Structure 1
């Protein structure tokens, strides 16, 4: 039995390039791509998904693995996977920004801790929002949906046609800039309520100059802030679901798939 070099080259390219796209997504996505997950676990997951998904790819690979073209395709497939995983990161960072805005307005900004997943200091309130978002993300099988999208992308965006990915890349950049406006709109009611509270304290200070604003104002702002957060949690789930749906639609648009 004679095995041609071209057949071996296509077979290796099928698995190697698929592995680059899948591992790129797992490296950048939330939960699986954090420091809490051992890199060996990510490698094992990427290999497992590749072994299952690669045989389903029917396109032929006109890529010589021993050429500069192969390096270009490896980098391109990795960038595609990273971009899809990055979308889930943006969804979570929206709630970190929202928690930081509320924490600064309520005087809880000093309560911060080091996020073990990113290694940066974040407000405790923002970390609480991220933990809630993580639980909801797992409950709605968001991680499985991302894996499904990346596997389906090999049919709608074949490896030989991956250059078309850059057509809609500006949509990812535009959507990233909306992270701050979305977080602001999410906590707008809380900001207005706290602004009214600050104005009330200012009127009290002008009416009674002997009133110690530091002794009275800070406890009042903290209590009011905690109450506002309690009411704000009721709208947390709808906001998160809306963000997830927008991120999913964007990922499908980038990969030319239907959600």
Structure 2
């Protein structure tokens, strides 16, 4: 019955992984059944449990505080990854503003929220690219190595440090920078179209710029989007690397490094 003495430590590992999957991109989608999420968390916790040197713990008052700590760590790591990955949605919103698609938001079945039309299109490409290149393994690698920085029996975690806040704010600013880089080819080209239409309206006042401009932007924006896909995938690869670096940095700060 030795496993009963090790079950509290296994439960802490399981709670952190389950909280991590609840907010992590791809794994937290609504179209993934909750039963599969729980089963995957159990399987992953089983692997980590026999990989780590897990101490024997007792169920007491401190144990419930450790559960809260594990939930917070898992949620924060998954949340910071989601914030950075949603740079693709923000880039789609920037593009839709210029192309005129922002008036037609669609419901995203993965998250249950309204999403820009172009943002959903690019987000689907990014998710497929992430799965094909095994980028989701890098995300799972983050939760695996989290136990090296913040052990399950460690009670002291630096959640409210100034460095943690700076890292979180830096992640948000990085998200907007990457979103601007993704959308700049289309936004910049359509800005030049706006300038040309403004000059034409001055030269030919009888022309209705609003009637001509909307289909012209769509006609030019879609081929430009096709041409920018190679650079888009390169930026998605950089985005995944940035997610991994940010997660490692947060874990070091949580552990007081």
Using the size of structure 1 for normalisation, the TM-score is 0.87
Q: Report 1:122-133 matches (<5 A).
A: 122-133=115-126
**1:111 maps to what in 2?**
104
Number of residues of Structure 1 aligned to a counterpart in Structure 2 = 250
User: Which structure 1 residue ranges, 4+ long, deviate > 6 Å from structure 2?
Assistant: none
Q: How does 1:159-178 map to 2 (within 5 A)?
A: 159-161=152-154, 163-164=156-157, 166=159, 169-170=164-165, 171-178=167-174
Match of 1:32 among 14, 27, 36: 27
SS at match of 1:31: coil
- Residues 82-93 of structure 1: matches in 2 within 5 Å? 82-93=75-86
Partner of 2:16: 21
Aligned to 1:141: 134
- Structure-to-structure mapping, 1:231-250, within 5 angstroms: 231-250=227-246
Greater CA drift, 168-177 or 109-118: 168-177
Tell me which residue corresponds to 2:65. 72
Structure 2 CA distance, aligned partners of 1:51 and 1:96? 35
Instruction: Out of 193-202 and 94-103, give the one that drifted further.
Output: 193-202
CA distance in 2, matches of 1:173, 1:106: 30
The CA deviation at 1:127 is: 0.4
CA contact (8 A) 1:92 1:133 kept: no
Partner residue in 2 for 1:230: 226
Q: Deviations over 1:213-237 (max 9, x none)?
A: 2332222121122232122222101
Deviation at 1:147, TM superposition (A): 2.2
Q: Which moved more, 1:214-223 or 1:158-167?
A: 158-167
What secondary structure does 2:115 align onto? strand
Cα distance in structure 1, aligned partners of 2:142 and 2:48: 12
Report the Cα offset of residue 162 of structure 1: 5.6
Cα shift readout 1:124-171 (whole Å, capped 9, x = no counterpart): 210011101101111121222222331232233212236345355321
Is the 2:29–2:111 Cα contact (8 Å) retained in structure 1?
yes
Tell me if structure 1 keeps the 8 A contact 2:12–2:152.
Answer: yes
Are 2:15 and 2:71, in contact at CA under 8 Å, matched by a contact in 1? Answer: yes
**Structure 1 match to 2:92:** 99
TM-score norm. by structure 2 comes to 0.88
| 1:209 aligns to 2:202 (yes or no) | no
Give the 3-state SS of the residue equivalent to 2:145 in structure 1: helix
* Alpha-carbon distance, 1:193 to partner: 2.0
Structure 2 unpaired stretches of 5+: none
Structure possessing the higher radius of gyration over alpha carbons:
1
Secondary structure of the corresponding residue to residue 106 of structure 2: strand
Find the counterpart in structure 2 of residue 46 from structure 1.
41
Q: Which range moves more in the overlay, 18-27 or 169-178?
A: 169-178
Alignment CA distance shift 1:89-1:208 (3 Å): same
